[in-house]
Structure 1
C-alpha cells in the first residue's frame, strides 16, 4: 500500500515530501500510512511571498471585507467537512471528537467573521478607546489606533486539534490583515493539509495569504522581523526553546504561547451525592478524561473534592468510566478512540508512572482492558486511568506532571481556601472549574484562583443545560493562562485580533485624527449640510456633515406637561424648593428626556426617506441643568458610517445640545440605519 504524500504549500506551489521526510502512523492500526516533511523548502521565498504578495493584498481589504472572506471560508469548509471527518478517524478521533475539532474550528471562523462585521469598522484603522483631550481648547488631542503588522504570522500548532488549532489562530490573523504560515504537528498534519487545500482551492483567499509547512520550519524563525508574530501551541519545554532564541529576543518578536496546563476542577462543598451538581461534576470529569482520549490542553488533570466526598466520587467516576466503550473510532458505539500515536501512548504511560509514585491508581489498568473493533496491541489505545492522592499537600508530581491522555488524579480538600491553594499549585493553568450551587463558593474560587488561571468555568443546575463544558474554549473569550500555561491569550474576540496589529498613539488636531481614523471628532471641521442629511442616502453623506437647528425655548408648561404625560414627576422637575436643596440644581429643571425629545423634534425630517430606523443612542451625558426660559439648540454631525447589509448601513451621529450661552447641556451619539444611495 502506497503512503500518503503530505505536501507543503510554499510560495504559491505545492511541494511534495523530500529529504528529511518523517513517517506518520495510523493511530488505530499502528501502521505507517503517510510521510511528510521536506528539508529543502525555500523559507526565504515563503517569507517574501507572504510579505510582498499576501500582506499587501490583505491590507488593501477593509475589516469588513476580511470578515466576509472568513465567513465564505467557513461556509466552504462546512460543505466539505465529511471529507475531513473521514480522514480524521485515522488520528484516533471519534465522531464526537470531530465535532470539537472540525465543527468547532469552522464555528470559530464564523464567530470572528461576525465580530469583524459588528465590532470593527468598515475601514483600515481600528480605533482603540476614546479620544483624549490634551489641551484646554481641544485643538490638540490624542487617540490610540491599531493597524495591521506588515509581516507574517507563523503558527506552530499541536497534534490534538489539526483543524480547530489552525482555524482559531488563522481567523483573527486574517481578520487583522496579516498573512499566515501554518506549521501543524507532523503526527496529524494530513488533516490540516486537507483543510488548507479546501481553503486554497476555493479561490476565496488572496494569493500569499496562507501557506503550509508539513514538517519542519528549518531556519524560518531566525529570519523573522519585528513585524512578525509567532503563535505557538505545545509543550512548555518547546515553547521555552523557541521563545528564548537570541533572534526572537533581540528583535522583540511577538511570541504568543499556549502550553502545558494542569487544569483543575473543584467540587463545591454543597455538591454532595444526590444533588444535580454532584452528578454534573461526574459527567464533566468523565467527558474531559475521555474526549479526544484526554488529549486536550483544557482537560481536567486534577479533580479537587471535599475530603468527605472522595470515596463517593471515586465510586461514581469508576462506575461511569467502566461504561466507556474503547475501540475503533469509526464504530458509532465507540466513546473513546486511540491516542494519536504509539509514541504518545508511551509518553502518557511514562508520565502516569511519575504520578503513580505519589497516588494510587483506583481505576484503569493499561495492561488489561478491552478494545472493540481494533487491535489494542498495535493501535495507540489506553483505558481511562483515575488516580487518588491521599497527601495532595506533600505531593509534587501530581501538580507538575501532565500526562497528556486519559489520566486524572483526585485530591481531597479541607475547605475552599485549601481547594484554591491546590488548584493554584498547577503554576498557572488554562482553566479551572467549580461545580457549585453556592454563589459564595463561586466568588471565593474566582477571587482566589483567578490570578493563576486564564478562565474560570462555573456550572450548576441553573446553567448546566446551556453550558459548553469545562474543556471548551470559546472564540468570544480569551484562551490562555499565566505561568506554566504560557502567558498568552488567544481568541477573545477582537482581543485576539490585536495580537497581529500594532497599537499606536497618534497626536494632533481633531482634523488630523478624524482623517486618520475615518471618524469625526468634535473640533474637526464641519461641513454645512446643503440639504437635510436625513434626505441623503448612506453613500452621499460625508463624515463631518453637520445640521444645526434651534433655538427652542423651554417653558414651565413644557416641563409640567411632560411630567404629567409620562408620569415622571420627580421632585427636581415639580418642586422648586426641594430641587433648590439639591446641590446639582438651581431649582426646578427640565427632564433630560424632554431635552432629547425636543432635540429630535428640531433635527427630524418627517417625510419618508433613506433613514429606515433609529436603533439607539450611546454615551448620553447631561452636563448642565436646563431651566424654564433657557433656549435649546442642537448640532447633528455625521460621525461614522458602517455598512451592515447589502441594503443598508449604520450612521453614527454626534449630537450636542447647547443653551443660549453656547454651553453644552447634553451630548450623545445617535444610531440610525440608512438605505444606500440610489
Structure 2
C-alpha cells in the first residue's frame, strides 16, 4: 500500500477509494493536526469536486445495475463480514490512527468505544441483519383476501435498498461512526459514499485502503476526504443520492436537511445533545464522580454525555466540593502518554468555544468551581471545568459546548428536576440515578429524550439510539438502524381466476 509514515512508523493513509479504485486526491489540501501538539501530522490533496461527482456517478451506476442489491442476503452479508474481518486484522493500526488524529489518550477507558466496541458490534449487527425477514405479510382481514374477481389476495411488504447512501461523519468517534454508517448500508444492498470529517480523515482512508482488497463490485463503496465542504454539499443535494446519513452538530444538520429537501432524500441525522443526569436524593453520592467521568470521556466530546448534572439543591454545595476534589485524578497530557487521563479537544476553534461558553456562563450568573480556562501547554487543551449554575436558562446549560465543561444545577424537588431536564431544544440521551428503582423508572418515563439510561450506561448493536426534537431524525443500531437503509415496497398478489 502507498502510504505516508511518521518518524515513529505510524500508518498515515492518504488515498481515496472512488468507484473501486484507490487514487490520490486532486483537490484542496487536507491538513491533519495532532491535537496533543497542534503540529501538522500530515497534509495531502483531498478529493476534488469532480472526484466527488465521479464517486456519485459510480454509485448510481452500481445501484441502477442492481447486482449488489440482487445478491442473496446471506451471500451479501458474508461478503460484508469478510470486509469486517479485513478491518479487524488491522485493529492495532486503526487504534494508533485514532489516538493520533482524535487526541484520545492511549490508556483512556473510552478508547474501546473508538475501535474495539464498533468492531464487535458490526459482527452482532450482521447476525441481526440475517434474522430480519426480507418480506413480511400484511395483516389484512379474511374478507379483504377475497378480491372482487373471485380470486384471493396476499399483501406483503418487501424491504429493498434505498439505493445510493451518502454518509457524512463527525470527528469525535470517527471509526465508530463510519462503521455504523457504511456496514449496515452495505449489508442491506446499498451503494455507499463515505465522506469523513476533515479533522479526522485518516481512519476513514485506512478503511478505504483495506476495502480496496475486499473485491466489492465496482461503485458499491467509495471513501473520500476533502479539505472544504463543496463535496459534502454535493452529496446532500445531488438527485442521484437517495439518502444522507449525517452525524454532527444541530446547526449543520439543519443545513443538511434543507439541502436534502428538494430531492426528498431519506435522512438519518444524529445531531447535538445536552443530556441531563438526574441524581435522586437517595443516590446523590453517585454525583461526586459525574464531572470527572464526562471530562475524561474524550475531553467531553461526546454527544450523549450528561453535561447537565441535576442534584438536590440542599446537597449542591457538598456535591460541588466532592466534584472539585475528584479533579485531582485528571492528568492532562499528550494522548500517547500512558499516564494521561484527559487529552485535548480537537482544534483551536474548540478551545475558543469552551472559553467563550465559560465566559457567557459567568456573565449569566454561574461560578467557576474548577478549571475554566485553557491549559498552559502546547496543543488544544482546556481544563476540566465545573460550573455552579444557578438555573437551567444559563447558556452553559442550553447549548452543546462539546468540551470538558459540565453545569451543576440544583433542583427543589423531582418535578423541578424533570421540568429543567426537558427544558431543552435537544433530546438525545439522559440518565437517572436512584436506589429506588421504581422511582428512578418513573422519572425516566417523563423525560423527552431518545434514550434514557437508568442506573446504567448501555450500548449494543441490538439496541438503537437516536434523538428527538433538535437532536435528529431516525435511529442507528438495532432493528431500526438496519431498516433505516431500506425502503418498504408493498406487493398485492392476486390469484388467477
> Structure 2 matches for 1:417-496, cutoff 5 A?
417-449=415-447, 452-459=448-455, 467=456, 469=457, 473-491=459-477, 493-496=478-481
Match status 1:101 vs 2:110: no
- CA distance 1:171–1:283, shift in 2 (3 Å): farther
Asked whether the 8 Å contact 2:333–2:343 carries over to 1, the reply is yes
Matches within 5 A, 1:109-508: 109-117=122-130, 119-121=131-133, 125-127=134-136, 130=139, 133-135=142-144, 139-149=152-162, 151-201=163-213, 203=214, 205-215=216-226, 216=229, 217=231, 219-225=234-240, 228-245=242-259, 248-272=260-284, 278-279=285-286, 281-358=287-364, 359-367=366-374, 376-392=376-392, 395-449=393-447, 452-459=448-455, 467=456, 469=457, 473-491=459-477, 493-508=478-493
Indicate conservation of the 8 Å contact 1:416/1:444, yes or no.
no
Structure 2: stretches of 5+ with no match in the other structure: 7-11
Count of aligned residue pairs for this structure pair: 475
Query: Is the Cα–Cα contact under 8 Å of residues 27 and 339 in structure 1 kept in the other structure?
Result: yes
Highest Rg: 1 or 2?
A: 1
Relative distance call for 1:53 and 1:304 in structure 2 (3 A) is same
* Alignment RMSD (CA, Å): 2.5
- How many Å apart are 1:236 and its aligned residue? 1.3
Distance 2:269 2:380 in 1: 28
1:79-105 superposed Cα distances (whole Å, 9 cap, x missing partner): 211111222222211233331111122
Deviations 1:285-338 (A, max 9, x none): 432221111111111110011112212211222222221111112122211111
Distance 1:134 1:148 in 2: 32
Alignment partners' CA distance in 1, 2:401 and 2:387: 12
Residue range with higher mean Cα deviation, 106-115 or 44-53: 44-53
Compute the displacement of 1:43 (Å). Answer: 3.0
Q: Return the offset for 1:228.
A: 0.8
Contact 2:295-2:342 within 8 A present in 1 as well: no
Q: CA deviation at 1:351?
A: 2.6
Structure 1 unaligned regions, length at least 5: 273-277, 370-375, 460-466, 513-678
Partner of 2:9: none
Query: 1:210: Cα distance to partner?
Result: 1.3
Q: 1:38 aligns with which of 47, 58, 72?
A: 47
Q: Which moved more, 1:30-39 or 1:332-341?
A: 30-39
Structure-2 separation of matches of 1:63 and 1:322: 53
Normalising by structure 2, we get a TM-score of 0.89
**Counterpart position of 2:103:** 92
Q: Distance in 1 between matches of 2:483 and 2:91?
A: 29
The CA distance in 1 between the partners of 2:164 and 2:339, in whole Å, is: 44
8 Å CA contact 2:283–2:435 kept in 1: the answer is yes
Q: Distance in 2 between matches of 1:379 and 1:21?
A: 21
Structure 2: how far apart are the matches of 1:480 and 1:382? Answer: 29
Q: Which residue of 2 aligns with 1:70?
A: 80
Specify the SS of the correspondent of 1:299: coil
- Give TM-score scaled by structure 1 length: 0.66
Normalized per residue, the structure richer in strand is: 1
Q: CA separation in 2, counterparts of 1:244 and 1:43?
A: 20
Distance 1:204 1:58 in 2: 12
Structure 2 partner of 1:624:
none
